[in-house]
Amino acid sequence: MKQLIKPIALAAILAASGAVQAQTVLKIGYATSATSHYGVGSTVFCEEMEKGTQGRYKCQQFPNSALGGEREQIEAVQLGTQDIVNTSTGPLGNFVPEVKIVDIPFLFRDYDHARKVMDGPIGQDLQKKMEAKGLINLAWTENGFRHMTNSKRAINQATDANGLKMRTMENKVHMDGYKTFGILPTPMAFPELFTALQQGTVDGQENPIPVILASKFSQVQKHLSLTGHVYSPAALILSPAVWSKLSAADKAAFTDAAKKGAAAQRKKVNDDENNGIAQLKSEGMQVVEKVDGESFRKAVAPAYAAFAKEFGADKIAAIQAVK
Decide if pLDDT at 204 tops 50: yes
β-pair partners for 141? 234
pLDDT at 191: 93
pLDDT at 9: 53
Sequence letter at residue 254? F
Sequence letter at residue 208? P
State the pTM of this model: 0.89
Output b/e per residue, 112-129; b: 16+ Cβ within 10 A: ebbbebbeeebbeebbee
First to last CA, the chain: 76
Span 27-41, mean pLDDT?
97
Reported as a single tens digit per residue, the pLDDT across 107-157 is 999 999 999 999 999 999 999 999 999 999 999 999 999 999 999 999 999
Closest CA to 181 of 296, 269, 39, 63: 296
Reported as a single tens digit per residue, the pLDDT across 96-119 is 999 999 999 999 999 999 999 999
Say if residues 197 and 217 touch (Cβ distance below 8 Å): yes
Reported as a single tens digit per residue, the pLDDT across 2-30 is 444 455 555 454 444 444 447 999 999 99
Say if residues 107 and 129 touch (Cβ distance below 8 Å): no
Cα–Cα distance measured from residue 13 to residue 270, given in angstroms and rounded to the nearest whole number:
50
Cα–Cα distance measured from residue 92 to residue 145, given in angstroms and rounded to the nearest whole number:
17
Within a 10 A sphere around the Cβ of 313, how many other Cβ atoms? 12
* CA atoms lying within 13 Å on the CB side of residue 209: 23
- Helix/strand/coil for 184: strand
Cα–Cα distance measured from residue 117 to residue 124, given in angstroms and rounded to the nearest whole number:
9
Report phi then psi at 89, rounded to 5.
-80, -5
Decide if pLDDT at 245 tops 90: yes
Q: Give the chain's mean pLDDT.
A: 93
Decide if pLDDT at 263 tops 60: yes
- Dihedral angle of Cα 236, 241, 246, 248, to the nearest 10 degrees: 70
Decide if pLDDT at 230 tops 60: yes
Say if residues 27 and 84 touch (Cβ distance below 8 Å): yes
Share of the chain above pLDDT 90, in %: 92
- Dihedral angle of Cα 50, 61, 280, 298, to the nearest 10 degrees: -90
Apex 259 CA angle, 211 and 228, nearest 5: 35
* CA atoms lying within 13 Å on the CB side of residue 185: 17
pLDDT at 6: 53
Report phi then psi at 304, rounded to 5.
-65, -30
- For the chain, domains (ranges, CATH) are 2-321 (3.40.190.170)
Band of the pLDDT at 1, cuts 50, 70, 90? very low
Sequence letter at residue 193? L
Radius of gyration of the chain (CA): 22
pLDDT at 273: 93
Cα–Cα distance measured from residue 119 to residue 97, given in angstroms and rounded to the nearest whole number:
19
Share of the chain above pLDDT 70, in %: 93
